[in-house]
Amino acid sequence: MPEVDRTPDWQPRSEEALNNQLATYDQMRESCPVAWSEYQHWTVFRHADVMTVLNDHDTFSNVVSSHLSVPNGMDPPIHTPYRKVIEPYFSDQAMARFEPTCRSIARKLVKKLQTNEPFDAVDALSQPFALQIQCAFMGWPESLQAPLNQWVKANHRATLSGDREAMAFIAEQFDGYIRQLLEVRRNAGAEAAKDNTSLLMEETVNGRRMTDEELISLLRNWTVGELGTISACVSILLNYLASHPELHRQLARNPLELPEAIDEILRMDAPLMSNRRVTTRPVELGGRTIPAGEKITILWASANRDERVFGDPDAFCPARNHQNNLLYGAGIHVCPGAPLARMELRILMEEWLAAVTRVTAADHSKPERALFPAGGFHHLPLVVEKR
């Protein structure tokens, strides 16, 4: 194979790209749909090319790190038994059992929001909701919420800066939290609460119980995914409704429309910006020849706005766009936690619409977008009127 040209096609960390992420991706989708950069390596912008990657797991492997990642960083056949273990935790029955707890958390947080006074929706609602929901779902103590919140922020700063030493330290810190939770349950023996963490400790893969290393990796992946993306989702939804008051009123009148509306808003403005793959063989993609062993960045924030599939990417049309929406991925690695995320967001928005008659952007400060690789908002000042 001829030597690959490593001249950057774009600069994803440039100030212009970071300050105008969606516009940059929209432009790249047209001008260079598969692009090379030192930061993201090969970035895939178009929906069709992303589907090629998702549907060919033999060529585009999920094993992107030397560190164990259960089950996200695994390929079949290793991936399959781990996936089978976790799917029942997101079944209809499991969601029905958790729904009252979820609704209680959502209702209390919405009730606490101040009326007719500016507040930061990230600090007051999106982050607390994500933290409380995750701890409740896993059976973790409330005392862990504050350390987890600080851990998420430190992890984001380290990822943003590319500080590998800091990232390793932060990962070890999280592992310490989980080891302690596992130890508490082992010491309790038969008296341990039958929460999801305890139940996972009893699961078997290939005829044996998972090791602590596997459990910690699984719980880390669940937690990082839940805390980051759910908070981003909430901030995106509230920002959109503040900008579209008629939709806010429509959904308040017709809450059954919420599930598809939520998915559509999050199609236009991605909470999870990207995922990674690595090529196992040379491959042609989007007119580029990519060697084996190359890192691929799937840019959900671009693929879900592809005009070839969705027409005007900013046109709100849930019925038309639902089938091709990649909010939760596709293929064998489609997000197993999608039922939980959809239920959490639906319930929170039901409680929001039941309590809030009007939401507007606050005048005193501007929203601040989170920076790649995070989605959503870092700061979202809003004002609400309540019933």
Q: Which two tokens stand for residue 92?
A: 């209809």
Q: How many CB atoms lie within 10 A of CB 282?
A: 13
| pTM passes above 0.75 | yes
Query: 320: closest CA among 254, 270, 250, 260?
Result: 260
Q: Which two tokens stand for residue 7?
A: 């001249």
- Residue 4 placed within a domain: no
For residue 207, the domain's CATH number is 1.10.630.10
Q: Are 289 and 4 in contact (CB under 8 A)?
A: yes
- The mean pLDDT of 314-341, rounded to a whole number, is 97
Residues in the chain: 387
For helices 338-355 and 245-253, give the axis angle rounded to 10 degrees: 100
Task: Report d(CA 366, CA 350) in Å as an integer.
Answer: 26
Q: What is the pLDDT of residues 257-304, one digit of tens each?
A: 999 999 999 999 999 999 999 999 999 999 999 999 999 999 999 999
- Residue 108 placed within a domain: yes
Q: What is the pLDDT of residues 88-135, one digit of tens each?
A: 999 999 999 999 999 999 999 999 999 999 999 999 999 999 999 999
Query: 329: closest CA among 278, 263, 281, 373?
Result: 263
Please state, rounded to an integer, the average pLDDT across all residues of the chain: 95
- Residue 87 placed within a domain: yes
pLDDT at 327 over 80: yes
- Give the per-residue pLDDT at 166: 81
Query: How many independent structural domains does the chain possess?
Result: 1
pLDDT band at 48 (very low <50, low <70, confident <90, very high): very high
- Residue 269 placed within a domain: yes
- Residue 22 placed within a domain: no
Q: What domain range is 371 assigned to?
A: 45-386
Name every residue whose Cβ is closer than 8 Å to that of residue 173 and which is 6 or more positions away in sequence. 151
- Give the per-residue pLDDT at 350: 98
- Give the per-residue pLDDT at 2: 67
- Residue 186 placed within a domain: yes
Q: What is the pLDDT of residues 340-375, one digit of tens each?
A: 999 999 999 999 999 999 999 999 889 999 999 899
- Residue 28 placed within a domain: no
- Residue 14 placed within a domain: no
For helices 258-268 and 212-243, give the axis angle rounded to 10 degrees: 90
